[in-house]
Every structure is written in C-alpha cells, then in structure tokens.
Copies of this chain bind each other. A is one copy, B any other.
Amino acid sequence: MSEQLGIKAKKLENFSEWFSEVCQKAGLVDLRYNVQGFVVHKPWAMRVIKKIYELLEKELEAKGHEPVLFPVVIPEENLEKEKEHVEGFKPEVFWITQAGDNPLEKKLALRPTSETAFYQMYSLWIRSWRDLPLKLYQSVAVYRYESTTKPFLRGREFLWIESHDAFETHEEALKQTREDMEVCKKVVWEKLGVPFLFFRRPKWDKFAGALDTYAADTIMPDGKVNQISSTHDLGQNFAKAFNIKFLSREGKKEYVWQTCFGPGVWRIMAALISVHGDDKGLILPFEVAPIQVILIPIIFSDEDVEKIKEKCDYVEKLLKEKGIRCKTDWREETPGWKFNDWELKGVPLRIEIGPREAMEGYVTITRRDTGERVQVKDDKLIEEIEKLGEDILKNLKKRAKKFFEERIVEVSTKEFLIKVIKEGKVAKINFCGREECAMEIKEATNGGKVRGVVVDSKEKPTGKCAWCGREAKEVVYVAKAY
C-alpha cells in the first residue's frame, strides 16, 4: 500500500517520462506482460475506456449506425483484393498459421483493420438503393506488428471503433466524412475537453486504398501531434475490389460509394491523460471519471469515528441516489496519503469529512483541477456537485484550448520552421503542395510532417512556400507526430 506515490517527472519538461509514470502509478496499464508491445489494461484505465466507448457508440447510433461484430481473422485472399490496401498493411500483419498441431490450409490475418472483412459481406448484403445507406460499426481491438510501442499511442493491440458506411452517391459519402468529424467533436471536444483540428491529409499520407483521408490531430504536451481519429473517403475503390453493386433508382447496376471512420479509443485515452493531466497526475473530466467524488474521513480521535462514519454513509447514499459515482476511502492510511493517491488517479472532486463536518451539516469539497476548496451545506450538496462537474469541464476546455492555440506558430522561413519544430511546437506555413518539399522538411526538422490542410478552413495561402520558395498553394500545419 505505502508504495511511492507521486509523479517525479514534470509534464512540460519531460513529457515522455511523465506519461510513463502516470500510466504506471495511476494504475492504468502494466507493461510487464511477456509479449512485447501488448499491455495489460488495469481497472482504472478500463473504466475510463468503457465510458469513452459508450460516448462514441451513443453518438454513432444517434447518426444511424448499428453495432456488428466481424471475426478477428481475415483470410489472406481478402487482404489481397485491394492493391494499395494490402501494400499498406501486409508488412504489419500477424498471421495465424496453425491450429492444434496442424498447419491451416489458408493463413489467417489477425485483423489490422476490417475493410476486407466487412466489404465481402457488403457485396452480399447490398442489392438495391433501398439497402443504402448501410452504416455499421464495431468496437474492437486491432493488431499491428509495430516496431516501437507506447501505451495508448502505439501498440501491437490497440482499441478503437471502426465504422463502415456505404452510399448511393459520392456526395453522400463526403457528407458522411463531415458527420464523422461531428461525432468526434461531440465526444472528444464537448465531453472530454480535448481540442483538435481535422486535416485533409496530403495524398502521400492517406489511408491505404482511400481517395482522401481526414484526420484529427491534437497536440501533446511535448508539441508532437496525436492523431485521435480518421475518416476516409474510399470512393469506389473497395466497391470495385469487392464487387459491391446496387440497383440504382434509375434501374442501373452501380458501385457503392464508401467511407470508413476510426475513432481511436486508445489515442483518445492518450490525449485525455496528457492534455488535462498535471504534475500531480491525471485530471479526469467528470463524465468519464470512474469515481467522480471521493470521500475522505478525517479522524483525529477515536471518539469521532462513529459520527464521521455516519456522515460519510449519509453523503455516499445521497450521491449514489443521484447516480453520482462515489466511494469512501476507509483504507488504513493517512488523509494526506489518500489525497495524493486520488489526485494521482484524477478523481474530479474530493470531499473531506472530519468531526466538524460530521456535526455541522456541511462538507468541504476540493476540486482536482484548481485545488479550490469550498464549504457546502448538506442540502445544497447535489446542486453544487453538479455545478462543479460542469465547471471542471469548462476549465479543462479553456486551459486545453489555450495550450493548443499557443503551440501553433505561423512560420514563413526555413530557419524558423526548423527552430519551431525543434522547440516542440506546431508550425503553420504556406506550402507548395509538393511531396518532395514535404520530404525535405521532414528530413531537415528531424521528423516534422506536413499534416495537411485544415478541413473547411478559410485560410488562404499568401505568397511563397515557406520551404522551397515556389508559389504557395495551401496553408498546412507541420508537426512531429506520434
């Protein structure tokens, strides 16, 4: 119990070490599982992750998606149907080749993503325009043989949702990509308070098999961006590869237009930890906190135990009746130790109950995000907690947005671009749009990548490309990325 609490690293000075410490000390993951790149998700992480899944699934269902579950195995022949897709994914596929003592007749891929599983069924399910739109999602893990791994950011097993939609027209498909962005906004920004921008990725950085990729980047404390979601305009590429045709309203056989959307639950979790956390540990928004209010009994003398217990039970019952997730910490540790432990775990509100609180009909509430303390009368408690829950989210959003905006710097020279990326910032530049230029930037900035043009942005390029001096065609953002 009395293990070393507290994070030693500072978030803004040594983010990587801070992140590792939080993952371990807040009880999120255990990295000691004996297969490289596969982590054990501990209860505190799983409880937050389940909430994130719930929020995303609710929004997807509100937009007409239905849940399905496709097999974890995909035959090699399916993967090979779409040429760009297989080239993109095959090097990272885990292969099942054996069952019991027997070799399998055909090798099976552990799903790296499920286009090639879904779309062969879509070719059976879709017959007429009446079957469209078809909008399905699954909440699963996917598997990729990554060389370097980091919990919630890059793993050989990572958690996401994938939705796969099919439409009559390209226009509807494009509209769907906008709706996917909306779902992301509703959950990641509005509920979790994590700011991001959606970019149209450059052609050389799109999803293997897509016409266009739109991806959301948030900015991590070290200035590297974290792609938390992506939605792809697949055009008719997969429809042709998998022969997904429908009888149109005009009575013609046509290929469907498809999109797929992957909200990265793991990546969103990484953002949630990193964007809101501070040097004491996690700070969880009220809505996804496994415990929203922790009650700490403050006992000075044995005489008070009974009264304090009574008050704790009373408050716990009161909160639970209102559906607030709370718990009283009766462990045999000092109040100070408990404060640290629950701060580390990011519980949004702490209520201390000592002899005075037990007698005098009020409690003392402390906010995790600001450390502010308020005394609240018992009969105003629920009201105050609900208000504080909202205030915490507001404050986290404000802080996060400020950081996000401050980290983006407009740059118009080579030298300044290199400097800005080196300093852990995101550069906004006028850009010529050429892949060669992007590759030069990556080389010179030691990994700074052109993330693309902000979707629906009104930013117009003025003048020359910040790198090559050719005429600028667009405004893009450059950043190192996880």
**A interface residues (Cβ-Cβ under 8 A, vs B):** 1, 30, 32-35, 38-43, 46-47, 49-50, 66-75, 77-78, 90-101, 107-108, 110, 117, 120-121, 124-125, 130, 136, 141, 143, 145, 157, 159
Contacts and interface: CB of A to CB of B under 8 A. Distances in A.
A43 B72 contact: no
Given A67-B47, A68-B43, A70-B40, A101 B91 contact: yes
B30 A46 contact: no
B130 A110 contact: no
B120 A34 contact: yes
CB-based closest 4 A-B pairs: A43-B66, A38-B71, A99-B145, A41-B69
B90 A94 contact: no
Contacts of A67: 43, 46-47, 50
Nearest to A41: B69
Copies of this protein chain in the complex:
2
Nearest to A90: B100
Contacts of A33: 70-71, 117, 120-121
A427 to B, nearest CB: 34
Contacts of A125: 30
B96 A94 contact: yes
A336 to B, nearest CB: 19
A34 B78 contact: yes
B145 A30 contact: no
Contact of A68 (B41, B98, B101, B120): B41
Given A33-B117, A35-B74, A41-B70, 6 more contacts: A30-B121, A46-B69, A69-B159, A90-B100, A95-B96, A97-B97
Nearest to A100: B91
A100 B95 CA distance: 8
Contacts of A130: 1
A78 B32 CA distance: 14
A120 B35 CA distance: 12
Most chain B beta-carbon neighbours within 10 Å: one of A39, A99, A110: A99
Contacts of A159: 69
A180 to B, nearest CB: 19
A71 B157 contact: yes
A47 B77 CA distance: 30
Given A30-B121, A34-B75, A35-B73, A68 B40 contact: yes
A80 B32 CA distance: 19
B98 A95 contact: yes
Contacts of A30: 121, 124-125
Contact of A97 (B34, B98, B101, B120): B98
Given A43-B67, A78-B34, A96 B99 contact: no
Most chain B beta-carbon neighbours within 10 Å: one of A46, A77, A130: A46
A136 B40 contact: no
Contacts of A40: 68-71, 121
Contacts of A117: 33
B1 A71 contact: no
A157 B72 contact: yes
Nearest to A144: B99
A32 B75 CA distance: 13
A94 B98 contact: yes
Contact of A92 (B32, B50, B100): B100
Most chain B beta-carbon neighbours within 10 Å: one of A41, A94, A108: A94
19 contacts: A30-B121, A33-B70, A33-B120, A33-B121, A35-B73, A39-B71, A40-B70, A42-B68, A43-B67, A43-B136, A46-B68, A49-B69, A90-B100, A91-B101, A92-B100, A94-B99, A95-B97, A98-B107, A99-B145
